[in-house]
A and B are shown apart, each in its own frame.
Chain A
């Protein structure tokens, strides 16, 4: 009784999860399930085959009674059939829950596929189900007829279930039994086919080696019998008090189960043995998962321990003579088989079909690991409970155990109600009763419907060619298709690469972004390569490209975390984790209040107390103009966080700060610390680099990390960070020692070679090996390959650069190109044509006199973008020439982007007024007093001069705009929320402050082209752009630009030019016979006298009158000169003429290099006259100095970081699509290093430096140099949005505010750490 009570209790409790689970299934579908696309079947499928097995097993055992007449098991005959029915119901219910569309279950009949094992299974279980019901009804019929007269529910149930049958005679019973025998006989092959078919369903799949075995159907059958027999034993022991009343039967059943169990074990063993010796990797992997995977206990404890060992110990020993123990053993089998089923389904799928599939994207649906979710368990337990209830109801309402006596006493005693001897059916032939016919009609109707539907479905499927049920929707194609809406050409700004895009806008929404094939930036940086495939009609025929960030930028445009309205801080306390207490305000209030807080700076005569930070490639000109007119010298932008050391390196070497590598024409490329095919700043890099390799070129990548670019190269040279310069010097040593350099180029176009040769004379490969860890032989070989494979180039980027020794190291790398003579030559480092749109700088009312706050002028190779690091340090320490009071930061996240972000935050918190313009609430924005919503690049204008070697300009234009207005004092078009674009905001602020240029005009109110007042802020900016285009190389208006193919202007006349340094200069000055020098030809009325010539020297006026020498006659022409440098004009007070050429050898006017010697400078003593920011003299040659912060015993590891294709700096981590590609940034550690610190793959570690600590998850990989750890930059947000927050690791706070003393470059990569397991 206790067992029964427990049984009912568990069963009824099971209805709770059942109800909840089914409710969730109906309302949320499969969303809460944990299986995915690699493991598409989970707990429920295992449960399904479990119940199916129980059903088939029970039924087959019942056939012992009804087919083979084994009398011993007669008492459990009806129970067995009932068990088969209940198990089947549970199985079908489970699988019904599992399919994606519950409501389409009928499709299996309507659209059957004759060759699908699943279809076979469906037909078989349908037939089987009908047969089971028929058999069971016949078995019960007589008792149901008898029970109709029972009082209460039992009688009612019986009356319903009897289906109108009457006739309770023994004859009718015998007739029933005859039918039963026929049906049961048919049922035997059906059950075998059915359950074997389920095995076949798995077995036929060659895609899953673990299942793909001919033994599978057989194992399924045997295991069905074993588990079904066990369940039957338990059921009869409990329901029929079997251990008391049918002791022998239970013992016999136990023996049967033992036999089946052993047979099953034998088959499984055979399967495992053959499979594992076969060694098919997929099979072995599944087996390993099953035996030693994370859920090893399911096999060892569940399947082997409970399901096999325990029952065998009981059943095969004298213990097996105790019916209670036999029941226990069989119960263990029933439970253990849950493990068997799980271990068939899950490990078979948990092995990825293609290596790396589960790691290809960061998506939980693409995991090989599977553990059922709570929701799945709910359904599972619920269905288990449902099973118990069904059994219980059967027990209560159906006289399963015994036949009822012909008549039921009016007041039957509960105890002796069934105390009637077993009825032995007599095989007496009788006529079929009408009631039976009715039943058969019902069964036939059910079966006939299924069969009919199947036949019709089959016929239809066979006869008709397959087409989609839903045809193409012509109206929707027109509404949403490719021809719907507009395709608007523009330029991407997901990063600073400015690739061309075509934005598909439908019903005011951007729905797709595609590459713009007219834009050279999307194809090639060399004009011949671009135009070889170009036509004005279609752009490049091979098609252009954009990267994942560009493709995904719709998600950032419509990011629900975007800021939509101006906000004002209410919390006076400032900190990254301090809630600003934003209060939404209108544009009127924002502009007025900000202007009111900036105005006093000007009025007090200290406009320099305004600091301004801006992004590099977006709307910079109005901001620069604003700063100039406001009177602050402190406009800074992104570059010094990025690559200004590279600029300085190349400028020192060759007088140009941005040469571009001509990969496509090169044959040998060495990249130092650059990851161009993955960082993908310009999308053409992927094409031109892979194409150069394809054409037989060799790519060598020098990097502490085997970057994704190194993966494309033939050779990866692992190097200790910041020692690239030493490697370059040693290469130079080899090249000079073995006289492999381009002697002609060195002689004609370089200076300081002898000093350089002396400098590298002792920089042997052995010397460099000590510094770089690169073996001397490797250095020797690479140097020789580099010098003898022509053309070759060496380039570098931020890897070696973002260190305190980055400039000279980069210079040593740059100079390798001079040694092999490939500067500005095909396949080398090309000096690009920088003509583009022209920004006419504004001239303020009064010149700015205050020095820059960051002391940029102290840096000998500083960059106009400023020195963020020094500025923040001074702001923090209050150690600058003055203490700034206000700051404006546009589209930058200083706190995440600078070294020592926490310190930067402290510095920014010191500003009395801090305004941030951004699309999202970044960490920096959380420190702001005013947060102004910015625009996404799809909402705004810009002009982009491109990363190609000849002139091209791309237009960025708004492709979407406001659907609703936000109020402002001035009209503007604005972005999708009705917010002002950055340039509109700056212009509005300028107007509010009444900023005027030196002519007294209100700059931000006057159209640049028309010269007339312009009220609309957008229109004002459009005139600015038009002006820049007109004055620049394109010479077109904005509207004309928009009409160009792809809205790109490409110069098809002045193509990529090589050896520009060797071009002879054409004189422009005209010397009249009287010796007067004019700037224009004789017939030009505007010409002015510039100088006079006396003895071949150009004088401003006669020497006697105090004239100055401003030039000389060279090669018969007049030139302004400074020494051998040829200048654009005379050096007069207040002017700074540009160098336009060089008198080579003193008498050959050539363009030359824009260095002080007119040549590539291996060495320049003039440099040593300058000091760096630390007061140390600049090295005249590219001397290797160790970086400032080197590893020590306490912090022994270098920590580096890099950029990959999946994300842009710290900006893109709130983009769900990109996070799907890469959701975090594991810290990569070399296996040897990991072992030394006892760290394993996937461990969480603490990364510590003297400045702080952070946590990271480790990925162990030989791709990392053993002395180095590193990760992708950009993760570890504490703000920005709901997706980005708390994802991955930021390392900025491990650093100090650190900048390079020559260029001002922020040194993000100069960190030393120790790592320990968290």
Chain B
């Protein structure tokens, strides 16, 4: 094996590698263009804190809808006072996953188990891929994710097997099966979408928290649709998002 041969082989490898990278890039773009579905919706929420009475009906409705175990809450209601009131007057705030446009939880996942759906912006977790490292929980600035420790309600309702409709997969909860050992989070009840990815409020196909809210504080809808409730509210009222400074671009807004 002489030096010339060696160098040409090296060159060949180098060129091949460069070619492969370029090829992969072109292929990727092409495949992407062909296979990436268009953004059809941008589901989001506008939560009116003036209407929230802090009853936590949303918390329970969510738990019953998604059949989540203890320790797993897709939404919670905080009741912290704003500073300066002097009497600790609580401000009630329901806090689902914000389905950020730039979700910090997604890039950190080592196995691509959590991702933002291209069609509608919902951030999901693939229970069959997630290894349960919980890095995404650490990365979420909003505390929107829970780990499924495998805890079950000790006195769990004796009504048959517990089947969660999440992701339309209708998994039966077993001690050793997913989503035990997985990270879980709010999905905007995407299992209630129709085949076109749309919700239907009148048919009850609407996120469980919004559906039960006694104060009607949780507005849900398509932020890309200028005629939607949520878009109208954002136009007409002053909304804020939490921790804007992180650049996460949450899809959940609060009206104060």
Chain A: residues with CB nearer than 8 A to chain B? 28-31, 33, 35-38, 40-41, 98-101, 104-105, 107-108, 110-113, 115-119, 122, 201, 204-208, 349, 352-357, 359-361, 363-366, 459, 461-466, 468-473, 476-477, 479-482, 502, 507, 509-515, 538, 541-543, 545-548, 550-552, 554-555, 557-561, 677-678, 680, 683, 685-687, 689-691, 693-694, 706, 708-712, 716, 1205-1206, 1214, 1216-1218, 1220-1221, 1261-1263, 1281-1283
Cβ contacts under 8 Å, A1205 to chain B: 53-57
Interface residues of B in 152-169 (CB under 8 A from A): 153-160, 163, 165, 167-169
Contact across chains for B168 and A30 when beta carbons are under 8 A apart:
no
Contact across chains for A205 and B104 when beta carbons are under 8 A apart:
yes
Closest to B157 in A: A558
Q: How far apart are the CA atoms of A709 and B54 in the complex, in Å?
A: 9
Closest to B195 in A: A472
Contact across chains for B50 and A694 when beta carbons are under 8 A apart:
yes
Tell me whether B10 is interfacial, beta carbon within 8 Å. Answer: no
Q: How far apart are the CA atoms of A100 and B131 in the complex, in Å?
A: 6
Q: How far apart are the CA atoms of A1220 and B59 in the complex, in Å?
A: 10
**Interchain Cβ contacts under 8 Å between A and B, 21 examples:** A30-B147, A31-B151, A100-B148, A104-B131, A115-B107, A118-B133, A201-B135, A205-B139, A207-B104, A355-B78, A366-B76, A461-B112, A462-B28, A511-B159, A511-B163, A545-B213, A546-B212, A546-B214, A551-B61, A552-B60, A1220-B70
Residues A465 and B163 in contact in the complex (CB < 8 Å), given A356-B79, A543-B206, A1217-B63? no
Least distance between B26 CB and chain A CB atoms (Å): 12
Least distance between B230 CB and chain A CB atoms (Å): 14
Cβ contacts under 8 Å, A356 to chain B: 78-80, 93
Closest to B71 in A: A365
Contact across chains for B170 and A476 when beta carbons are under 8 A apart:
yes
Least distance between A80 CB and chain B CB atoms (Å): 29
Least distance between B218 CB and chain A CB atoms (Å): 10
Q: CB < 8 Å: which of B51, B93, B183 contacts A694?
A: B51
Residues A354 and B212 in contact in the complex (CB < 8 Å), given A100-B131, A470-B127, A1205-B57? no
Contact across chains for A547 and B57 when beta carbons are under 8 A apart:
yes
Contact across chains for A554 and B107 when beta carbons are under 8 A apart:
no
Interface digits, B197-215 against A, CB 8 Å rule (1 contact, 0 not)?
0000110111000111111
Contact across chains for A353 and B142 when beta carbons are under 8 A apart:
yes
Q: How far apart are the CA atoms of A470 and B64 in the complex, in Å?
A: 23
Cβ contacts under 8 Å, A554 to chain B: 64, 157, 159
CB-based closest 10 A-B pairs: A100-B132, A100-B181, A558-B157, A365-B71, A476-B170, A472-B168, A356-B78, A686-B214, A207-B141, A1205-B55
Q: CB < 8 Å: which of B112, B117, B170 contacts A479?
A: B170
Contact across chains for B170 and A477 when beta carbons are under 8 A apart:
yes
Contact across chains for A112 and B111 when beta carbons are under 8 A apart:
yes
Tell me whether B128 is interfacial, beta carbon within 8 Å. Answer: yes
Contact across chains for B55 and A547 when beta carbons are under 8 A apart:
yes
| Interface SS, B side | loop
Least distance between B20 CB and chain A CB atoms (Å): 10
Cβ contacts under 8 Å, A473 to chain B: 168-170
Contact across chains for B55 and A349 when beta carbons are under 8 A apart:
no
Contact across chains for B170 and A480 when beta carbons are under 8 A apart:
yes
Chain B: residues with CB nearer than 8 A to chain A? 24, 27-28, 31-32, 35-37, 50-51, 53-57, 59-61, 63-65, 70-73, 76-80, 86-93, 95, 104, 107-113, 115, 117-118, 124, 126-135, 137-143, 145-151, 153-160, 163, 165, 167-170, 175-176, 178, 180-183, 191-192, 201-202, 204-206, 210-217, 242, 246
Cβ contacts under 8 Å, A471 to chain B: 169
Cβ contacts under 8 Å, B88 to chain A: 706, 1261-1263
Contact across chains for A107 and B129 when beta carbons are under 8 A apart:
yes
Contact across chains for A680 and B133 when beta carbons are under 8 A apart:
no
Cβ contacts under 8 Å, A36 to chain B: 71, 147, 149
Closest to B104 in A: A207
Residues A361 and B59 in contact in the complex (CB < 8 Å), given A206-B141, A472-B169, A479-B170? yes
Contact across chains for A706 and B73 when beta carbons are under 8 A apart:
no
Contact across chains for A559 and B157 when beta carbons are under 8 A apart:
yes
Q: How far apart are the CA atoms of A482 and B193 in the complex, in Å?
A: 11
Least distance between A126 CB and chain B CB atoms (Å): 12
Other contacts beyond A107-B111, A363-B70: 20, CB < 8 A: A31-B150, A99-B133, A108-B111, A116-B110, A122-B110, A207-B142, A349-B138, A359-B79, A463-B31, A465-B36, A473-B170, A502-B204, A543-B216, A685-B214, A686-B55, A694-B50, A710-B89, A711-B91, A1205-B53, A1220-B63
Contact across chains for A561 and B155 when beta carbons are under 8 A apart:
yes
Cβ contacts under 8 Å, A551 to chain B: 57, 60-61, 64, 212
Contact across chains for B151 and A365 when beta carbons are under 8 A apart:
yes
Contact across chains for A480 and B31 when beta carbons are under 8 A apart:
no
Q: How far apart are the CA atoms of A1218 and B107 in the complex, in Å?
A: 36
Contact across chains for A111 and B76 when beta carbons are under 8 A apart:
no
Contact across chains for A101 and B73 when beta carbons are under 8 A apart:
no
Cβ contacts under 8 Å, B61 to chain A: 514, 546, 548, 551
Contact across chains for B211 and A543 when beta carbons are under 8 A apart:
yes
Residues A111 and B113 in contact in the complex (CB < 8 Å), given A468-B128, A554-B64? yes
Cβ contacts under 8 Å, A545 to chain B: 57, 212-216
Residues A1262 and B87 in contact in the complex (CB < 8 Å), given A683-B214, A1205-B57? yes
Cβ contacts under 8 Å, B170 to chain A: 473, 476-477, 479-481
Contact across chains for A113 and B205 when beta carbons are under 8 A apart:
no
Closest to A37 in B: B146
Least distance between B11 CB and chain A CB atoms (Å): 22
Q: How far apart are the CA atoms of A293 and B92 in the complex, in Å?
A: 28
Cβ contacts under 8 Å, B138 to chain A: 40-41, 205, 207-208, 349
Least distance between A609 CB and chain B CB atoms (Å): 39
Contact across chains for A37 and B60 when beta carbons are under 8 A apart:
no
Cβ contacts under 8 Å, A515 to chain B: 211-212
Q: How far apart are the CA atoms of A351 and B68 in the complex, in Å?
A: 24
Cβ contacts under 8 Å, B242 to chain A: 354
Least distance between A201 CB and chain B CB atoms (Å): 8
Closest to B135 in A: A118
Q: How far apart are the CA atoms of A352 and B142 in the complex, in Å?
A: 9
Least distance between B75 CB and chain A CB atoms (Å): 9
Give the most central of A464, A466, A541, A706: most B CB within 10 Å: A466
Q: CB < 8 Å: which of A98, A118, A201, A711 contacts B89?
A: A711
Give the most central of A104, A461, A547, A709: most B CB within 10 Å: A104
Cβ contacts under 8 Å, A38 to chain B: 143
Q: How far apart are the CA atoms of A1218 and B155 in the complex, in Å?
A: 13
Q: How far apart are the CA atoms of A888 and B22 in the complex, in Å?
A: 85
Give the most central of B129, B146, B213, B214: most A CB within 10 Å: B214
Cβ contacts under 8 Å, B151 to chain A: 31, 365
Contact across chains for B139 and A680 when beta carbons are under 8 A apart:
no
Q: How far apart are the CA atoms of A542 and B216 in the complex, in Å?
A: 8
Q: How far apart are the CA atoms of A105 and B135 in the complex, in Å?
A: 15
Q: How far apart are the CA atoms of A659 and B49 in the complex, in Å?
A: 30
Give the most central of A201, A357, A472, A686: most B CB within 10 Å: A686
Cβ contacts under 8 Å, B73 to chain A: 37, 360-361, 363, 366
Cβ contacts under 8 Å, B178 to chain A: 101
Q: How far apart are the CA atoms of A561 and B154 in the complex, in Å?
A: 11
